[in-house]
Amino acid sequence: MTTSYVVSNNKGGVGKTAVVTQLAFGLARAGQKVLVVDLDPQANASRRLGWSFDHANPVPTISEAIKANENGVGEDAVVTCAGTHMDGSPLSIDLLPSRPDLENRISEAGAVGAQRRLVRALTGWTDDRYDFILIDTPPSLGHLTQLGLAAADGVLIVTEPEFDSIEGAVRVRDFIEAHAIDLANPSLYLAGIIVSRLRSQIGEHKFQIDGLEEIAPGKVLQPIIPERSVYKDASGAAASITDYRTAAGRTMTEVYDQLTATIQNLAKEAAR
């Protein structure tokens, strides 16, 4: 059974795409078959998984799949991104890549049934192929994010432990509650909140996490992701943190392996 999660926040710069890519690597290390859908025209998830658009040899992307509005058409745009396990053995993550022209799909939001176009693109081929689908979205609640919400089982909100980021997280939570039925996805639910870039266990960050627990009781997932320079290094190098065989790299790999286990348990509980 496939579990699909939109990863979202209504504020940019919270580390959302880094979580998507490193969680994809973590799930793949755990033996799960993973598809990442990049719904952000910035295409950062695509780049961080090692893919880039070649203008000399163009291939279909998520933009073409959504525009086609046909059942199963997303399969034609899938590419495989390589990584490695801790022992150096290969692992793979499938990707529906993005590029900047995905912005063009926003103008189609008013077309009848437009919000279901990603559902159609994924229909008929994903259920038998993947354990998890992770959908990266832009930092908005507009049409591209709504495409993801319409196609997902649940929502993972990524936030920094700071006021503006948490305000963005609350807006996503409220949007789900108010509009899931409008997206023809009434069973859509908030699966959990991932706190990233923790820089202090005291002071403002602790205060904000305590407040987040009150705002969304039982939804703050463990472990919380600390701020480490190796995290940014991996994102910049389009690599898994397992490629960094330093103490910090090992620590962050352990954090993501623990978070991977948390996500797998969430999926199992939801399936009961």
The pLDDT tens digits for 127-152 are 989 999 999 999 999 999 999 999 99
Choice between 251 and 220, residue whose per-residue pLDDT is larger? 220
Give pTM, 2 decimals: 0.95
Residue 203, pLDDT score? 75
Identify which of 19-28, 90-99, 208-217 has the greatest average pLDDT: 19-28
178-188: average pLDDT: 97
Report CA-CA distances (Å) from 178 to 183, 186, 204: 10, 10, 30
Given this model, what pLDDT does residue 128 score? 85
Distance CA(110)–CA(85), nearest Å, equals: 44
Determine what percent of the chain is predicted with pLDDT higher than 70. Answer: 96
Are 152 and 188 contacting, i.e. CB atoms less than 8 angstroms apart? yes
What are the residue boundaries of the structural domains of the chain, listed by start? 3-271
- Name the fold adopted by 3-271: Rossmann fold (3.40.50)
- pLDDT band with cut points at 50, 70 and 90 for residue 83: low
